[in-house]
């Protein structure tokens, strides 16, 4: 079984997006549960900046605005 270099890059890209999405999920849940700290707001802003970046689009093939909206619909119902 041969694994190409591209497979490694694809796996890395998926891992980066997965970690960011998981972090955003828990950030939204913290805000929903009234955890109002500067660090939570800062993390939310940093993650949203990443999701809106060309880098995120390149790694995932997704539209960052749609991704943020969907995550907020699922994990932060009472925006």
Q: How confident is the model over 5-22, as pLDDT tens digits?
A: 788 899 999 999 999 999
Residue 70, token pair as written in the block: 């969907």
For the whole model, what pTM was predicted? Answer: 0.86
By the 8 A CB rule, do 56 and 13 touch? Answer: no
Contact call for residues 30 and 10 (beta carbons, < 8 A): no
pLDDT at 79 over 60: no
- Residue 77 main-chain phi, psi, to 5 deg: -60, -35
Can you give the pLDDT at residue 5?
72
pLDDT digits (tens, 9 = 90+) for 35-73: 878 999 999 999 999 999 999 999 999 999 999 999 999
Where in the chain are the domains? 5-75
Radius of gyration of the chain (CA): 14
Structure tokens at 16: 């980066």
Q: Is the pLDDT score of 2 beyond 80?
A: no
Contact 50, 37 (CB under 8 A): no
């Amino acid at each position: 079984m041969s694994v190409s270099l591209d497979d490694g890059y694809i796996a890395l890209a998926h891992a980066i997006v997965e970690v960011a999405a998981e972090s955003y999920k828990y950030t939204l849940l913290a805000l929903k549960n009234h955890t109002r700290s500067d660090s939570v707001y800062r993390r939310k802003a940093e993650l949203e900046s990443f999701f809106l970046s060309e880098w995120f689009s390149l790694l995932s093939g997704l539209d960052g605005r749609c991704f943020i909206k969907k995550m907020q619909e699922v994990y932060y119902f009472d925006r």
